Amino acid sequence: MANWFETKVRYDKTLENGQQKKVTEAYMVDALSFTEAEARISEEIAHFTSDYSISAVKRTKIAEIFRQHTGDKWYLVKVAFITLDEKTAVEKKSISQILVSADSFKEAYDNFMDGMKGTMADFEINTIQETLIMDVYDAALGSKTSDTPAE
């Protein structure tokens, strides 16, 4: 099971007009610890710039990631899985957070529904919101997950 950390990286970015601007960007990293998450994002960011700082590393409650080749943005889908307590016959909702890559809100919904095909559990979508996450890096091969096929 993946253990996702949100990292924030601060660096000087060159804008289209040639000016330098300090920016902070968010990245998701699959890691075993805060230390590993910081080391992995440092390794990935070093390919793009040498002058940067890691401004934050925090554990997330992301349960799963649905990836698409075309998705430029990342959307956070909060979904409630509905189960029935056999003793009391009361419905219980368990909230999960799933990160979905897509180019638009509608595509995020469609990609989420594609990812849920074959799921036997009843569920309802609570929210879908666009995030500021720039990219997602998987632990398995150290490669970004947005380049891998959808599961």
Supply the pLDDT for residue 140.
53
Residue 118 — left, alpha, or beta (φ > 0 → left; ψ -120 to 50 → alpha)?
left
The pTM (predicted TM-score) of the whole model is: 0.84
Q: Which residue has the higher pLDDT, 142 or 56?
A: 56
pLDDT at residue 88 tops 90: no
114-121: average pLDDT: 90
pLDDT at residue 137 tops 70: yes
Supply the pLDDT for residue 97.
97
Per residue in 92-114, pLDDT (tens digit) is 999 999 999 999 999 999 999 99
Per residue in 5-27, pLDDT (tens digit) is 999 999 998 888 989 999 999 99
pLDDT band, very low/low/confident/very high, at 1 (cuts 50, 70, 90): low
pLDDT, the chain, mean: 88
pLDDT at residue 144 tops 60: no
Long-range contacts of 52-56 (CB under 8 A, 24+ apart): 52/9, 52/10, 52/11, 53/9, 53/10, 53/11, 54/7, 54/8, 54/9, 54/10, 55/8, 55/9, 55/10, 55/24, 56/6, 56/7, 56/8
